[in-house]
Amino acid sequence: MQKPAEGHNSYRVPMARVCARLEAAGIDLGSCRALEFFAREGDWHTTTYASKVAELDAWEIDPSCEAALRKNLPDACIRIGDSFEFATQREFASQFDLIVYDNPQMFFGSCNQYCEHFEALSTLPNLMKPQAAVVFNVNRKPFDYDKWPRWQARRRQFYECPDAAQLTPEFVMDFYGWHFNRLGLTTRLAFLEPRHLSHVDYFFARLEKKGTAGIRASRAPERLQGRPDFRATNPKNSR
């Protein structure tokens, strides 16, 4: 694909490190059909990997972003509309080798019905090929978290823990391995890559579909429910 316009460097550098790690792990980006689920104007991290993949689809709900999106990603297949609705359509079933969720923080959607990547990850089993890679944002230490009690409650619900103000890397790796298993996916490779100071990391996973027989626990495993690693690194939980 043609090299697109340059974007925000602070967002491009962490994604460049992710791409380097993928290639070092033997993942051929040049053969991938990729999806940017929350594309915005395409000038953040998407410009970093757009020229490396075989095909790129970019979905964005805001029509005011379309002109810039087409300028920044001239070779991408761009669709303006609700990504969650696109994800249910038959034409996109089992189509993607790489899915990137550059998810917003806190709540979003017409009725604030979505939060972070929590609901978006449920689209993975439909969108991905039998084997695929996923990249998304994990907010390990939310900024100004104390000001948003509803956000705190939603994070506690999703992570099934009493306090999700600071998530250790160990907890994050264990939790998402379990979460993908619940979605019927086996994790073959996973890592975290720092994105923004101590707050946000990229989470990468190479996944494989395993069918409904592989879906097991509806709750987190015992070693996650107790959170000993989490409590040890969280002063709020050690009092």
3-state secondary structure 27-60: CCHHHCEEEECCCCCCCCCHHHHHCCCCEEEEEE
- Please give the pLDDT value at position 198: 59
- Please give the pLDDT value at position 12: 56
CATH numbers and ranges of domains, the chain: 9-237 (3.40.50.150)
Question: Among 180, 64, 186, 168, which Cα is nearest to 117's?
Answer: 180
- Please give the pLDDT value at position 212: 40
Neighbouring-strand partners of residue 101: 136
| DSSP tag of 163 | -
Rounded Cα–Cα distance for residues 83 and 57 (Å): 11
Q: For each successive 10 residues of the chain (239 residues), what is the average pLDDT?
A: 39 81 90 96 90 97 96 97 97 97 90 94 97 94 88 95 93 96 96 79 94 44 41 31
Question: Among 99, 97, 130, which Cα is nearest to 28's?
Answer: 97
- Please give the pLDDT value at position 13: 78
- Please give the pLDDT value at position 67: 97
Q: Two tokens at 38?
A: 């929350």
Neighbouring-strand partners of residue 36: 58, 100
- Please give the pLDDT value at position 195: 82
Rounded Cα–Cα distance for residues 209 and 183 (Å): 9
Q: Two tokens at 11?
A: 């967002």
DSSP 3-state percent helix, strand, coil across the chain (nearest 5): 40, 25, 35
